[in-house]
Amino acid sequence: TVLTIYNTPGNYTASIIVSTNAGCADTALVGITVLDSIVFDILPVPSVCSDAPAFNLSATVGGGYWRGTGITDSLAGTFDPLAAGTGNFEVTYTIQDACAGSDTVEIQVLPYYDATISPVAAVCENTGSLFITAADTGGYWSGNGITDTTTGEFDPAGAGNGDHVIYYTIP
């Protein structure tokens, strides 16, 4: 006997007849409830920097719980980039209902770069070139007097007399 239930919510009564080769038969009734399926999605998450503040993730249906690297509150869906560290992390949202399941989202946490420039004392215009340094490497230098955008070489004579603004950008 095959009993087919279509995905239409509601209460149904099915009559099941069992017969044997000897011609004896019996009938039984069974109540069947078909529940609505719960369909949901996790809202997209853009890439974040590792020093960004913690934030709550969202799904189109509430009532579930979150798990994965960087989750600090499983009910609120709080994701902390600092706790996760840098990299790509899969986070799962699960609704524990008979007709639900789970969905996942990948969150990319980008490294934090510190572009703080080390202080430079006043220099004379006839002083030779000097190298300006920053907290993290990998950026490029710009501004009046910069002669090498990669190393941060600064030429006071080329810059001339006065105050100069130097920029350091880490892409």
Give how far Cα 46 sits from Cα of 49, 105, 131, Å: 10, 11, 37
The pLDDT tens digits of the residues spanning 61-76 come to 888 999 999 999 999 9
Asked if residues 3 and 34 have their Cβ atoms less than 8 Å apart, the reply is no
Give how far Cα 121 sits from Cα of 68, 88, 132, Å: 48, 42, 11
The pLDDT tens digits of the residues spanning 71-103 come to 999 999 999 999 999 999 999 999 987 677 889
pLDDT of 158 higher than 90: yes
What's the confidence (pLDDT) of residue 100?
73
Average pLDDT, the chain: 87
Share of the chain above pLDDT 90, in %: 67
